[in-house]
Amino acid sequence: MIFFVRHGETAANRARLALGRADPPLTDRGRDQAAQLASYLVDSGAARVFSSPLLRARETAAAIAAPLGVAVDVDDRLVEMDYGEWDERSFAEFPPEDLARWRRDATFAPPAGESLIAVGERVASFCTEFVDGPPVIAVSHVSPIKAGVIWAMNADPLLAWRMHLDVASISRIGAPNRQPVLLGFNDTVPLG
């Protein structure tokens, strides 16, 4: 089973900006969310914690890994979608015709960025490697986690636009009968 965890809050997330490869740290609230995720996941049975190479994910992963007594393995396949020239900008700033095309064409990529198809391919590789083994935790970002869910459901990549994923949420995929399935999506842990 894979526990996909979206990192805690950053200032850019709070401002509702497209946040791809820019590398801001967690906010104080994001660090609190990471601590709550760690408390929740300590009994997950996971013996490995993987993380995107971006700081917000690594900070979240470190908080989760500490009570498990394991190191964090950085895996580039978990990195956020590359928004290219659109990184750290509001969706309202994107050219409307490009935004419309992006929502109907999974091969479309923002200028100097990455397509939904490309994200899906790299995340599928991660999922194939770990879904049928012992539980692992993968701390990542909105687009790769949605791609993992889409992979498990063998669904159209454009389904990503019809899914909402909160920061500091947990989504689970597994293969109980050697067939990938979605076990949980966008579960949030209340801050105590």
**Segment 93-111, tens digit of pLDDT:** 999 999 999 999 999 999 9
Per the annotation, the verdict on 121 as an active-site residue is: no
Q: What is the pLDDT of residues 66-84, one digit of tens each?
A: 999 999 999 999 999 999 9
For residues 123 and 144, what is the distance between their CA atoms, to the nearest angstrom?
A: 6
Identity at 160, one-letter amino acid code: A
Is 141 an annotated catalytic residue?
no
Domain tally, the chain: 1
pLDDT at 191: 60
Percent of the chain with pLDDT over 70: 99
d(CA 155, CA 162): 12
Domain containing residue 96: CATH number: 3.40.50.1240
Whether the model clears a pTM of 0.85, i.e. scores above it, the answer is yes
> What pLDDT is stored for residue 192 in this prediction?
52
Average pLDDT over residues 53-67: 98
Q: Is residue 112 scored above 80 in pLDDT?
A: yes
pLDDT at 21 over 70: yes
Q: Exactly one of 9, 59, 80, 114 is catalytic; name it.
A: 80
Catalytic residue among 7, 9, 59, 141: 7
Number of alpha carbons in the 13 Å side-chain half-sphere of residue 41 = 38
Containing structural domain, residue 115: 2-188
Q: CB under 8 Å to 33, separation ≥6 — which residues?
A: 8, 9, 26, 60, 167, 168, 189, 191
What pLDDT does 177 receive?
86
φ, ψ of residue 4 to 5 degrees: the values are -85, 125
